[in-house]
Amino acid sequence: MNIQTLLNQRIQAAMVASGAADDAPALVRQSAKVQFGDYQANGIMGAAKKIGTNPREFAAKVLEQLDLSDIAEKVDIAGPGFINIFLKNEWLGAQLGEQRKSERLDVAVVADPQTVVVDYSAPNLAKEMHVGHLRSTVIGDAVVRTLEFLGHKVVRQNHVGDWGTQFGMLLAYMERLRAQNSKISMALSDLETFYRAAKTCFDDDEAFAARARELVVALQSGDEECLALWNEFIDISMAHCEETYKMLGVSLARQDVMPESAYNDDLENVINELQTQGLLQESDGAKCVFMEEFANKDGEITPIIVQKTGGGFLYATTDLAAVRYRQKVLNADRVLYFVDARQSLHFQQIFTLSRKAGFVEPTTSLEHMPFGTVMGSDGKPFKTRSGGVAKLSALLEEAQERAFQLVASKNPDMAEDEQRNVGRVVGIASVKYADLSKNRTSDYVFNWDNMLSFEGNTAPYLLYAYSRVASIVRRSEIDVSSINAPITIAAEQERALAVKLFQFEEAIQQVVSDGMPHFLCAYLYELSGVFMTFYEACPILAAESGLKESRLQLALNTASTLQLGLSLLGIETLERM
């Protein structure tokens, strides 16, 4: 049940019946202050202005047309023409009962499901995943889970980098190891070291560098031996990624991988199409597209280079092929790209060109969902203590270990197995949640103490809140599935909790419309706070029979909402911690 949508529909209908334009929005929002009710409609003033009437008089007319008697106990006009809505306690109680009965907490499935292609994670396979891949991976995954929950068809696309010039260098190094009879799989168990060793040879040894360049050409022209070597490398590197996904609890699988190399055979076609459409221009021997939209104030245009002198293709060429594929083969209605903000210009250019070239339908929405950088406490991009890039797998190991230490010190009596499991869940959740809870577009500072704190908007706080609610329910020793006493809302704190519980659906809408999971995080954090206030003011287990069952159901709905909300964020919950 989405109250906001319901009120929007009803109020808009009343506005139209009172003479407003058909598309005049009611602009229903949650009220910021209790004296303004639970919701307010802000659309009256704008609608009145359009038809040239006095807003307060118009508001009065709308109220005559508006019957909210089933859900609201009071509807007021305030200020210049705001409509304030005070929901009815009986209605809230009855709706909560519906919410309880439904596994999806009465959240509606969308009436018009879309096919949404989501491009996320996409590490470069030449190296191991590092902290820079965290954001795309966890934010993308939360949005994917929420889209699916709402009934959209999601196609995950892990656009991994497996095809650049670096691969020549890596293959040359594999060749060398093989000639020395060294075990390649051993060497590849640590990709960072392998990459560095290959890079040293490449930089210091001219013959090696020449061989590396030869191998790129051989690879790209389909040489079998080269491909076999390359496949071996990619397989191992992909397995490293999968281990990290597993540790992180990310829903990406092998079948979601659509690597850069998969578009190789289509790149020539992209160039030909651009050529036929007269969009290509030659510049210093390279094939480029110059678009007015990307001119600076002196009129100089930053072009997209699609083919280098000598014939090589680029990152942009592959992305153009990918747009076409996502439209023509995957039938996307929407394509979301969770990629670093530093690639914003690249995506604006790709999107603009794709439209000009007709690679996408005019109705298809292409959306870059940029994110900021993970920073260290020194205000620079996050590095390990020794100054290297932080490997994601090492970071996640450390998180689990730190959380384990924390849990062990808080619960010395817990069996070590359980301490380890709680440490695993809390550690991973902390890293993910610290990332998800920040506004996607800003940078944030990676700080162990903050993310592992039991206070504030953190994973430990929320997981603890969940386990506490779960334990209240357990201690009641009531078979909750058999409760059918009505939920009665009387105390102010019960009411605040009830209204908050309903706002879950509004919070998850924002995750899918804006690709911003931090709205859901903020909601879950507020919900926990409202629950704690309720719990202090309204005893549950000590309440008289009837009231006890009613309040227990409020606790149950809270637990289910926290659990479902966290699961949409890709975070596991614990019954005990």
Binding site for ligand ARG (CB under 6 A): 119, 122-124, 159, 161, 319, 322, 337, 339
342 vs 474, beta carbon nearer ligand ARG: 342
322 vs 496, beta carbon nearer ligand ARG: 322
List strand residue ranges (DSSP E) for 52-195, in order.
Answer: 72-78, 82-87, 115-119, 153-157
169 vs 339, beta carbon nearer ligand ARG: 339
319 vs 505, beta carbon nearer ligand ARG: 319
Query: What distance in Å separates the CA atoms of residue 226 and residue 223, rounded to the nearest whole number?
Result: 5
63 vs 138, beta carbon nearer ligand ARG: 138
350 vs 452, beta carbon nearer ligand ARG: 350
The dihedral of CA 63, 64, 68, 72: what is its sign? positive
The amino acid at residue 181 is N
322 vs 428, beta carbon nearer ligand ARG: 322
323 vs 569, beta carbon nearer ligand ARG: 323
Whether the CB-CB separation of 196 and 187 falls below 8 Å is answered with no
Q: Supply the minimum distance, in Å, between the C-beta of residue 123 and ligand ARG.
A: 6
Q: Supply the minimum distance, in Å, between the C-beta of residue 119 and ligand ARG.
A: 5
Query: What distance in Å separates the CA atoms of residue 29 and residue 40, rounded to the nearest whole number?
Result: 5
Q: Supply the minimum distance, in Å, between the C-beta of residue 321 and ligand ARG.
A: 10
133 vs 424, beta carbon nearer ligand ARG: 133
Query: What distance in Å separates the CA atoms of residue 467 and residue 533, rounded to the nearest whole number?
Result: 16
Query: What distance in Å separates the CA atoms of residue 25 and residue 72, rounded to the nearest whole number?
Result: 20
Backbone dihedral region for residue 37 (phi beyond 0: left; psi -120 to 50: alpha; all else: beta) = left
Three-state secondary structure string covering 192-219? HHHHHHHHHHHHHCHHHHHHHHHHHHHH
Q: Supply the minimum distance, in Å, between the C-beta of residue 260 and ligand ARG.
A: 8
Whether the CB-CB separation of 45 and 55 falls below 8 Å is answered with yes
Query: What distance in Å separates the CA atoms of residue 144 and residue 154, rounded to the nearest whole number?
Result: 7
Q: Supply the minimum distance, in Å, between the C-beta of residue 309 and ligand ARG.
A: 23
CA angle 34, 36, 42 (to 5 degrees): 140
Q: Supply the minimum distance, in Å, between the C-beta of residue 188 and ligand ARG.
A: 20
Residue 310, number of CB atoms within 10 A of its CB: 8
Task: Please compute, for residue 220, the number of CA atoms within 13 A of its CA located in the half-sphere on the CB side.
Answer: 22
Closest CA to 221 of 324, 125, 313, 316: 313
CA 2 → CA 9, 223, 475, 562, distances in Å? 11, 58, 32, 17
104 vs 355, beta carbon nearer ligand ARG: 355
The amino acid at residue 209 is A
Q: Supply the minimum distance, in Å, between the C-beta of residue 265 and ligand ARG.
A: 18
Q: Supply the minimum distance, in Å, between the C-beta of residue 361 and ligand ARG.
A: 19
Terminal Cα-to-Cα distance of the chain (whole angstroms): 32
Q: Supply the minimum distance, in Å, between the C-beta of residue 158 and ligand ARG.
A: 9
Q: Supply the minimum distance, in Å, between the C-beta of residue 114 and ligand ARG.
A: 19
59 vs 320, beta carbon nearer ligand ARG: 320
172 vs 322, beta carbon nearer ligand ARG: 322
Query: What distance in Å separates the CA atoms of residue 28 and residue 240, rounded to the nearest whole number?
Result: 48
Tokens of 293: 């939209």
Q: Supply the minimum distance, in Å, between the C-beta of residue 385 and ligand ARG.
A: 24
Q: Supply the minimum distance, in Å, between the C-beta of residue 569 and ligand ARG.
A: 22
Q: Give the rounded distance of the alpha carbon of 26 from its chain centre.
A: 29
Query: DSSP assignment, residue 501?
Result: H
Query: What distance in Å separates the CA atoms of residue 436 and residue 574, rounded to the nearest whole number?
Result: 19
Query: What distance in Å separates the CA atoms of residue 320 and residue 424, rounded to the nearest whole number?
Result: 40
